[in-house]
Amino acid sequence: MRRVAIVGAGPAGMYAAEALSKSGRVDIDILDRLPVPCGLVRYGVAPDHVAIRSVRDTLDGILDLPGVSFLGNVEVGRDVSVEQLSRFYDAIVWCYGAPTDRSLGIDGENLAGSISATAFVNWYTGHPDADRSFDTLLTGPSTAAVIGVGNVAVDVARILVSPIHALRTTEMPDHVLAALEASTIKQVHVLGRRGPAHASFTTKELKELGEIEGVRVIVESRDLVRSDETVAALENDKVASRNFAVLEEWASRDWPHEPRSLWLHFYARPQRIRGDAAVAWLDVARTEVDAEGRARDTGQTWELATDLVIRSVGYRGEPMPGVPFDAARGIVPNTDGRVTDHGSVAPGQYTAGWIKRGPSGIIGTNKKDATATVAALLEDLDDLPVPAERGALPSHLSAIGIVTVNRDGWRRISREECARGVASGRDRVTIHDRVDLLTVSQ
Ligand code: NAP
């Protein structure tokens, strides 16, 4: 049997494994630097989105398919080089995602109190590498500004204003729940640099913001003017049109006084974050949108007093040493999933998911994407050279003392998470500590 390494056990990697297994022509090792599979389904999807998180069960089932093995706690680049991997495997599929955040490129971005949504999401989902200084970040401040109007910004805003009892049923680790319970945030401002017709959040996610107990949503009518440009944009986009209707209804609703407020500002481009030692103000330029859909400053500015800035302007792919990388797009360059290096196909290397196409789409998008990549791989398979040391990865890892987590180890973690949930009446509690994860897995 030929042997394929998939690097990254998120949705793209798991769906690639499923498609490869179905072919019956290869054995598959799914490698992940974390001791657990599922990637952003575990560390991206908001814990209160229980239905979406249940995709984990589907992904978990892929580990039972013929020829599929999981090798968690293995970091390519640290525990095994790309050059070694290509000696151990007939083909490699890079599915390592887009782990970092895009930057705003404005002054004050690195002040204390200015954080990335990626880091915040890592923290509230219990990622082993989460920044634990966030445990105290929300105690004291009353106002937070979230930059960006994508679904991640909506998740972050919702988590910040949700009443604690709505989160207590989720898998969030106890220290996260304690921090959110102690949170003093009362006002959250979400800022989009273009108009509502150009926001990238989806309607279901947007609507949820209007259904949070104890939260009043504020949208200014000046942001909802149906200019020619807005009308043209809405005509071409059903989701935008539905979003617009939701926002109009909120703007006209007579909201009761509530303990927490959520503001949605559009045509609001952050210019500068100000403060002596920490965030205190956000300078915002009022924009208009031109016929091409680009934001253009109008010359008007306003300022927002805020204690925190959470930058949610998209994820970004990172280079992996030894793997071709398109720095401008933040992806592994490829033609239909075949990795290319300066325009030529790199034999035996493939890619799927966010590192193939950029950070967009829903979880299901990765199935189609990964299946297309696997089709290319299977087309090439008979012509790929036989690797010098096929199957030698496990012995290499044990020789250098790496403790790996296999499918049964992951299932032990999963069972333990469910057992720990029982104590607090929950289905599961995320084990967040890497040592704890490894101990439980063994
Ligand atoms: P996204 O949808 O690409 O949104 C990024 C936002 O940042 C946009 O509003 C963008 O505005 C804004 N932005 C970018 N650069 C900016 C700048 N320099 N200044 C101000 N604003 C800037 O990314 P995301 O929210 O990180 O989501 C990533 C993917 O995951 C998306 O496909 C999303 O739908 C998906 N996701 C889905 C769910 C769900 O289904 N529940 C949950 C989370 C994530 P412009 O449009 O003007 O560039």
Do 349 and 421 lie in one domain? The reply is: yes
Which atom of ligand 1 has the smallest separation from the CA of 200? 2
> Distance, CA 95 to ligand 1 centroid (Å)?
20
pLDDT of residue 411: 98
Q: Identity (one letter) of the amino acid at 313?
A: V
pLDDT of residue 130: 98
Output the average pLDDT for the chain.
Answer: 97
Do 11 and 94 lie in one domain? The reply is: yes
**Mean of pLDDT values over 365-374:** 98
Do 85 and 115 lie in one domain? The reply is: no
Q: What is the DSSP string of 343-359?
A: TEEEEEEEE-THHHH-S
C-alpha distances out from residue 267 to 224, 285, 370, Å: 10, 8, 37
Residue 311 has pLDDT above 90, yes or no: yes
Give the percent of the chain with pLDDT over 90. Answer: 98
Give the pLDDT band (50/70/90) at residue 86: very high
Alpha-helical runs (H) found in 6-143 = 11-23, 40-43, 50-53, 55-62, 82-88, 117-125
CATH number of residue 291's parent domain: 3.50.50.60
Do 85 and 128 lie in one domain? The reply is: no
Sheet-wide strand order for 295-305? 268-274, 281-289, 295-305
Which atom of ligand 1 has the smallest separation from the CA of 314? 26
Which secondary structure element, helix H or strand E, spans residue 27, and what is its range?
A: strand 26-32
**Ligand 1 atom 4, closest CA:** 150
Strand-strand pairing, 114-116 and 187-191: unpaired
Give the pLDDT band (50/70/90) at residue 45: very high
> Distance, CA 313 to ligand 1 centroid (Å)?
5
- Ligand 1 interacting residues, C-beta cut-off 6 A: 104, 147-153, 155, 192-194, 198-200, 205, 269, 312-315, 359-362
Do 348 and 391 lie in one domain? The reply is: yes
Do 71 and 114 lie in one domain? The reply is: no
Question: How far out from the chain centre does Cα 19 lie?
Answer: 23
Do 379 and 348 lie in one domain? The reply is: yes
**Mean of pLDDT values over 170-176:** 98
Q: How many residues does the chain have?
A: 442
Do 214 and 330 lie in one domain? The reply is: no
Out of 251, 281, 311, a domain closes at 311
Do 214 and 247 lie in one domain? The reply is: yes
pLDDT of residue 116: 97
pLDDT of residue 348: 97
Residue 180 has pLDDT above 90, yes or no: yes
Out of 294, 311, 328, a domain closes at 311
> Distance, CA 410 to ligand 1 centroid (Å)?
31
Report d(CA 437, CA 442) in Å as an integer.
9
Q: Is residue 67 within 8 Å of residue 27, measured between CB atoms?
A: yes
**Mean of pLDDT values over 310-327:** 96
> Distance, CA 244 to ligand 1 centroid (Å)?
17
> Distance, CA 120 to ligand 1 centroid (Å)?
15
pLDDT digits (tens, 9 = 90+) for 325-351: 999 999 999 999 999 999 999 999 999
Give the pLDDT band (50/70/90) at residue 168: very high
List strand residue ranges (DSSP E) for 229-294, in order. 260-265, 268-274, 281-289
Bridge partners, residue 191, by sequence: 147, 265
pTM given for the model: 0.97
Structure tokens that stand for 242 in this block: 């539905």
pLDDT of residue 331: 98
Do 297 and 327 lie in one domain? The reply is: no
pLDDT of residue 316: 94
Report d(CA 394, CA 435) in Å as an integer.
21
Do 187 and 288 lie in one domain? The reply is: yes
Report d(CA 15, CA 369) in Å as an integer.
9
Do 280 and 337 lie in one domain? The reply is: no
Count of domains forming the chain: 2
**Residue pointed to by tokens 């273009």:** 194
Q: Is residue 115 within 8 Å of residue 312, measured between CB atoms?
A: no
Residue 44 sits at φ, ψ, to 5 deg, of -135, -50
Residue 291 has pLDDT above 90, yes or no: no
Q: Is residue 40 within 8 Å of residue 11, measured between CB atoms?
A: yes
pLDDT of residue 225: 96
What's the domain range around 394?
A: 2-99+317-441
**Ligand 1 atom 11, closest CA:** 148
